[in-house]
Each structure stands twice: as C-alpha cells, then as structure tokens.
A and B are shown apart, each in its own frame.
Chain A
C-alpha cells in the first residue's frame, strides 16, 4: 500500500499475521484471528488494540484552559487535574468538527485526543479559533503511540506490569506511571464498553509494551472488532453518527455538551437554538427484525416516507442480531423499515446501549 503511514507497532501486526487496511491514511490492522473471536476476547477476557493513529494535541500557556473552553462543548473547568472528559468540537453552525477526549494534565496543560482522519482539519480549526489567547497548540501525534487494553481481565493483567495502583484510578481518570518499565500516561478510558486502560507511550517504547501484553495473554484485536464493540456499547463514530452537518445534540451525546457553561464556545448559539426549538433529527438505536444487516447509508422509512438514514449497522457478535444506529426524524415510529438492497426490512427502536457490562 503506497504512501500509507505506519504506526510503531506495524512490525508486530505483520508478525501476528494481521490483515492490514488503509484507515485514515494509516496502514492499520483490521483483524488478526477474526473479528468475532477478537470481539469475544475483549468481552470475556482481554484484548489489545493499536490506536496509535489517534492524534495527541497539547495546549500550553496561561490561556490554555480558555482556549480549550472556547473550542469544545464540555465545561473543562469542571475537570479535575488527572481527569478526562468526552467532548465535541463544533462549527458555529452546530455541526461537528470532531469528537474528542480532553485530558486535564498537571500544570494547567490540556491534551486533546483527536480522530486520525480529522487531525489536520482539527489543528487548523483549533489555531484559527483562539485569537488573542496566550496558548501554544502543539501537535505531538507523531511522538505518541497508543495501546488500548480492554476487557474484564485487562486491569488484572496490567497490574502485573506496574507499580501504579490501578484499582485507585477511577473511570475517566489518568495517572502517569510505568508499564513494563516504560513511562506511560495510564488512562482508564476506552471505546469498547469494557473496563480497561489506554496507554499513551513514547513510540520507541510501544513495541516492547505491546509484546509484553501479548505474551501475557491479551488478544490482539483490530479495527473491525473495535467497531463492533463500540457500536454495541452505543458509542459514536465520527463520519458515521457525527459529521459537519450533524450536531452533538442530534447524535445523542448531549452529556458531552454543557450548553450553559460560562465561557462561550464555538457553536453554542446554534446548539442553544436547536435545544430551544427542538431537533430536526435524533439518533436512535434499532434492532433489525427481518432478515438482513442494516449498514451505514441505508435509507430508513416509516413504511411510506423516508424518515432518515442508518449511520452504523452490523451483526452484533454479542447479541447475535443485526443492530444499528440511525439519524431519523423525531416523529419516527418505534417500528420502521430499513431499505436493504431495495427490500424494506422491519426494524424496531431499542434502548441504548445494546450491551452493558456487569460491574
């Protein structure tokens, strides 16, 4: 594959026999043993993902917080040092630039973790929209690798590689420590609906940490399983549920939008209007009742009129049913039809998430 970027773990993927695909300009593993078995390994034991393609952008300077406040929908002043929060980055229109994780680091420094496909667009948007603020916006994506260890046995497994008391690191909190002797930002976050950690590592250190965890029994898992896992957990994927024409309120992530925060943020006016006037579209979760698998882009009808579109759809390995998310008119009935290869297939709205782990 010509001109594709590789993560520092590329050789590991090759050695593990991964199937590599172009994802956001990176040559990334889509699967190793098979999506279903990797999915099940994460749900039942522990899986390991290379997500080094994600971007790390640092905000430093006396106005770092003011800059982040202006750029994201979450009120980051409420984050404690060592806490991370999910947020959207919006245009003035209320459409979404990206969905991100904001980390409040020691020394009033912020790290924003962005989607690989949006990295350049995000940086440009960030820099354009902080005039007059004393902030240095530093894209350090190429210096960091990111390994996600996820699953019911992931924490226990990681504990054997660190002195850090992982049990004391709560959900969406992070600490700096060592994993397998390598410095890491150890973050109790993930994109699978399982417990686990994401490990931000220096590029040179990533392969050894990866190998240690694989040897300890973590199943390498690719982007294919990552997608089925996040969909079962009801998490949004930029480009599917979220895009420049879709607001975070429409996509159902209002928990990441603090509409009334004190500091004005880009898109706040548009989102306040949407909130006051009512949304034109809403995100719903559905299960296909007939035979077929709904996919991204399939049309949704109420039996007569087009009412929306499927944003994500797959065969859920955990439920054994075809599930999906769709952006539809707010008046859409609980039972609707998805047009799959010209055939209307019945589907019904269900509660999110599709899958919730036992705690």
Chain B
C-alpha cells in the first residue's frame, strides 16, 4: 500500500498536500481508501467558491458497491476541483496521490492535528 511520507492524513482516509506558501491544500483519498472502496465509478464534487468547515462533508466517492463521504481535513474555500474525475473516476484507483486528486482548498485553517504518514499507518493497522 503506497503511503507518501511528505503528505498529511486524516483518520477518515483523506490525504492533504500543502503548497510551499502553506495557503493552498490539495486533497484526495488514500491508496488504502481506494483499495477498500474498490472500483470507483462516481465522484460528486463541490463547486469552486464553496466553503467548508473542518470535518464537513464536501463530496462523495462511490464504488460499484459502496458510497463514501469525503470530509474536509481543514477549513477553506474551494479554488479548484478535479473535473476530470467526472468522466474518469477510475483515476482515483489508478493514481490516488496524483491524477486522482479531488480538490484544492484555499486555507488559512489550522492543520495542526493532521496525521503524519507514520500516525496514519497506525490508524490503518488498528482498522477503521
């Protein structure tokens, strides 16, 4: 299971990549999450300009069998969504940390309690 060391994670299996300035966060779901879900067939994305509180549901990922809500790891305003996922949701399975990214948030929010790769690994080991 792939687990990039330079990303931050949540217990709900999102990953967060913060840019150099620290004000834009790219968000997706982890390799573990896509593997648990199976073939992703549908992604419901928010609109650019929508704002979310930390922990708020911002979208949905559906596999053939399962529906999974996406939770904002940090508060912020949507500045970009990966609209390629609307036609090619399988990118989430194929490249969860790359082409399978879901959205970008402009954030000034507190990212203090996001998990390190090592801490997220413990979450996975304990089971959800």
Which residues of A are interface residues toward B (Cβ below 8 A)? 19, 30-31, 34-37, 224, 227-228, 291-293, 295, 314-315, 317, 322, 341
Task: Write out, one digit per residue, whether chain B residues 57-88 have a CB within 8 A of any chain A CB (1) or not (0).
Answer: 00010111101000000000000000000100
CB of B65 within 8 A of CB of A293, answer no
Given A292-B44, A293-B62, A341-B60, A35 and B67 touching (CB < 8 A)?
Answer: no
CB<8 Å pairs between A and B, sample of 8: A36-B39, A36-B64, A224-B38, A292-B44, A293-B41, A293-B42, A315-B41, A341-B60
Contact B38 A341 (CB under 8 A): no
Known A-B contacts A31-B38, A35-B38; A315 and B44 likewise in contact (beta carbons under 8 Å): no
Q: Are A315 and B64 in contact (CB under 8 A)?
A: yes
Chain A residue with Cβ nearest B93: A34
Give CA–CA (A62, B95) in the complex, Å.
Answer: 64
Contact of B67 among A30, A36, A295, A322 (CB under 8 A): A295
In order of increasing CB-CB distance, the 6 nearest A-B pairs are A315-B41, A35-B64, A36-B39, A224-B65, A34-B39, A293-B42
What chain A residues lie within 8 Å of B41 (beta carbons)?
36, 293, 315
Query: Chain B residues with Cβ under 8 A from A228's Cβ?
Result: 64
CA distance A314 to B38 in the complex (A): 14
Which secondary structure dominates chain B's binding surface?
strand
Select which of B42, B44, B64, B86 is within 8 A of A317 by beta carbon.
B64
The answer to whether B39 touches A35 (Cβ under 8 A) is: yes
By a beta-carbon cutoff of 8 Å, the part of chain B in contact with chain A is 38-39, 41-42, 44, 60, 62-65, 67, 86
Residues of A within 8 A of B60 (CB): 341
Most chain B CB atoms below 10 A, which of A34, A314, A315: A315
B44 engages A314 (CB within 8 Å): no
| Nearest residue, chain A, Cβ from B69 | A341
Bound complex: CA A228 to CA B41 (Å): 13
B62: nearest residue on chain A (CB-CB)? Answer: A293
A335: shortest Cβ distance to chain B, in Å?
21
For B65, list chain A residues within 8 Å (CB): 30, 35, 224, 227, 314
**A35-B35 Cα distance, complex, nearest whole Å:** 12
Q: Which residues of B contact A315 (CB under 8 A)?
A: 41-42, 62, 64
Chain B residues with Cβ below 8 Å from A19 are: 38
In the bound complex, what is the Cα–Cα distance between A314 and B42 (angstroms)?
10
Using CB atoms, name the residue of chain A closest to B43: A291
Residue picked from A19, A293, A317, most chain B C-beta under 10 Å: A293
CB-CB under 8 A for A314 and B67, given A31-B38, A224-B38, A341-B44:
no
Q: How far is the CB of A253 from chain B (nearest CB, A)?
A: 24
Known: A35-B65, A291-B42; 20 extra A-B contacts, CB below 8 A, are A34-B39, A35-B38, A35-B39, A35-B63, A36-B41, A36-B64, A37-B39, A224-B64, A224-B65, A291-B44, A291-B86, A292-B44, A293-B41, A293-B62, A295-B67, A314-B64, A315-B41, A315-B42, A315-B62, A341-B44
In the assembled complex, how far is the CB of residue B93 from the closest CB belonging to chain A, in whole angstroms? 8
A295 to B42, CA, bound (A): 13
